[in-house]
Structure 1
């Protein structure tokens, strides 16, 4: 018989990583359900939202800006942006001064689908996280601290 396996946590429910994984999977199912009618994946939505957000504060949004904003792999961002371009949601143009960079912009249909998706996702988030009640602010603050700490 092999040595008994030792766990640091007494149960899966006392492991923050396990719980984060479970919450993430449950939340992603809800997000998928609200985005499916718009023909968007969660990743496509995140990148569209990054384009929309960055466009409010930058004159020229690049793929690198989008990857940095969304904490996403640059190659994956490039592939997903190509898909969004094929769907007619974004434009990709050559950068005026950097031949390696692409300038990304929302099309009219991209802005329209993003607005619909934002409403759906924000409503889904409010419903999903409503069970936290008055603890929502502390939960958000804790997640923001983790993002800041590990996004260095």
Structure 2
């Protein structure tokens, strides 16, 4: 006899987690299309963007800063930064005051590829989320709240 499976939601479209997962997969597919020609993965782009953003205010951005800004695992950040260093998009130098840390800098090639990636990604975001129209600001607010409330320290 088959065991009955009990779902809390009446249908997949009633499940916020399912919907978020589906939306994320579709959005990532769009990102992949525009990042592949730039020889970047989505994760590499996210970390370059975090570095670019943090570098606007801080001249000594560390791996930990990038991990915190991007809500990503520190070990994964380390591996991806090594790849970005091999691609000559970043450099890592000694931190002026913390001997355990490295300061991460965008190279000229890294800044150029980040600018190209930002342009195509921002255009994809505008197109992808355009269906929300005037609902985009509250949608962004709700997403920000969810991120903040569910962040692991």
Q: TM-score, normalised by structure 2?
A: 0.97
Q: Distance in 1 between matches of 2:131 and 2:96?
A: 49
Match of 1:12 in 2: 12
Match of 2:137 in 1: 137
Identify unmatched segments of 5+ residues in structure 2.
none
Paired residues, what number?
152
Q: Distance in 1 between matches of 2:104 and 2:59?
A: 11
Q: TM-score, normalised by structure 1?
A: 0.97
Q: Distance in 2 between matches of 1:37 and 1:46?
A: 16
Q: What is the Cα-based RMSD across aligned positions, in Å?
A: 0.9
**Deviation of 1:131 (Å):** 1.0
Identify unmatched segments of 5+ residues in structure 1.
none
Match of 1:89 in 2: 89
Q: How do 1:27-66 and structure 2 match up within 5 A?
A: 27-66=27-66
**Deviation of 1:13 (Å):** 0.6
Q: Deviations over 1:7-51 (max 9, x none)?
A: 110000110000000000000000000101100000000000011
